[in-house]
Amino acid sequence: MELGGQLSSLLAVLEPPTPSFTLFELADGVRLIGPPLDGVAALVVLSGTLHLGHGETAVVVKPGRVALVPPGRRATLAARPGEPLHSIDGRASLIRRDRWLVADATRGGAASLRVAGTRIAGSDALARPVVTSVLDDPAGRPVFTLLRAELARGAAGHPSLAMSLMSACVVQALRSAIEAAPAPRSQGEAATGLSVGRAVAAIRARPGDAHTVETLADLAGMSRSSFIRHFSRVMQAPPIEFLQRVRLEEARALLRATSLPIKTVAARAGFASRSHFSRLFRAAFGDDPSGFRERESGDETA
């Protein structure tokens, strides 16, 4: 799939609720090593210059730009090029600060690089790192300016507003990249991407509905076999596997944000039984739903 189609697929799965962001803060001479992610990482550079390493690829990303990192491989973040004085495991550096999850790689010094990162769950549709700009879109520039002002101000409620603005920056950057991408080789490819996008949007908007391959194929206006083939190519996963991922993400969000019973969470996310849901949740996230909720609650109060 060509770049425009890959980016359109990312935009299709970046649906409400607003994704959670982690703040990365790095000092000069420090390299932060991120874990491989199941999904595309979107990194919004807030201040400083990001020197991003991904496999054999090195990318320089200025403020107001968004780096999109393909899934499954480690990425490294640094404020300066060259061999760092210190390397820090991103997971080991995570702390809670004013309702933010922060990867603090400053070693007690000043941050010369600040990046906001999120995972676009449910999508593997990116073959290589892509850098695009929030500032290229006339609507994106004031959003980015407001985001930086909100982070500096730190008024009541600013994490919720700042996360919404970060999400808007990612959307604007994706739009700019899609507009700048080469046109698809055929009108048929573009139409196929839009058709699959309708099914993806329905899954993301209502993951708990009784979706089947047949109902999703109807939304896409395709036969069952054609839909499975095209969906799997565009989204890099078969329809039911993708649906299961989205349902698990929905359940995880409900466990974090509500005190609903586990059985109710399972039903709302579209799982027929609690036992089946618990098995899938443990396989995906390494903990059962109850243990995950207890751990998240403990982290909030730590």
Cβ atoms 85, 108 nearer than 8 A: no
Q: Are residues 95 and 117 in the same domain?
A: yes
Q: Sheet containing 75-78: which strands, arranged edge to edge?
A: 57-61, 50-54, 75-78, 30-33, 86-89
Same domain, 68 and 216: no
Q: What's the pLDDT at 69?
A: 87
Name 30's Cβ contacts closer than 8 Å, sequence gap at least 6.
Answer: 78, 79, 84, 85, 86, 87, 88, 105, 106, 107
Domain span including residue 76? 3-180
pLDDT tens profile 82-125: 878 889 988 888 888 877 889 999 988 889 999 999 887 655 56
- Mean pLDDT, range 135-156, rounded to an integer: 84
CATH code where residue 42 lies? 2.60.120.10
The helix or strand, by DSSP H or E, that contains position 94, with its residue range, turns out to be: strand 94-97
Closest Cα to residue 54, out of 170, 235, 37, 85?
A: 37
How many structural domains does the chain have?
2
How far is it between the farthest Cα atoms of the chain? Answer: 59
Average pLDDT, integer, range 53-79? 86
- Shared domain check, 59 and 154: yes
CB 204: neighbour CB atoms within 10 A?
20
Helical H runs in 206-273?
213-220, 224-235, 239-257, 262-269
Q: Return mean pLDDT, the chain.
A: 83
- Using DSSP, state whether 261 is helix, strand or coil: coil
Is pLDDT larger for residue 300 or for residue 215? 215
99: exposed, middle or buried (Cβ count in 10 Å: 0-12, 13-18, 19+): exposed
CA angle 298, 301, 302 (to 5 degrees): 80
Place of tokens 């006339």: 138
d(CA 55, CA 44): 20
pLDDT of residue 122: 55
Question: 249 and 130 in one domain?
Answer: no
Same domain, yes or no: 11 and 73: yes
pLDDT in tens, 182-222: 555 444 555 566 678 788 888 887 889 999 999 999 988 89
Helices (H), the chain: 3-13, 140-153, 158-180, 187-205, 213-220, 224-235, 239-257, 262-269, 274-285, 289-301
Shared-domain flag, residues 146 and 264: no
Residue 280: per-residue pLDDT: 94
State the pLDDT at residue 174.
82
Confidence of residue 7 (pLDDT cuts 50, 70, 90): low
| CA 69 – CA 58 distance, rounded (Å) | 11
Residue 38 sits at φ, ψ, to 5 deg, of -90, 90
Shared domain check, 160 and 268: no
Q: What is the pTM of this model?
A: 0.62
pLDDT recorded at residue 18: 56
Q: What integer is the mean pLDDT of 73-88?
A: 86
Same domain for 32 and 133?
A: yes
Domain C-terminal end among 122, 155, 180: 180
- 44 and 162: one domain? yes
Does 222 share its domain with 89? no
- The residue from 154, 180, 206 where one domain ends is 180
Residue 108: both structure tokens together:
């007690």
More confident call, 105 vs 73: 105
Burial category of 214 from C-beta neighbours within 10 Å (exposed 0-12, middle 13-18, buried 19 and up) = exposed
Residues 292, 204 share a domain: yes
Residues 168 and 227 in one domain: no
Choosing from 180, 213, 228, the residue where a domain stops is 180
The CATH number for 265's domain is 1.10.10.60
At 15 the pLDDT is: 52
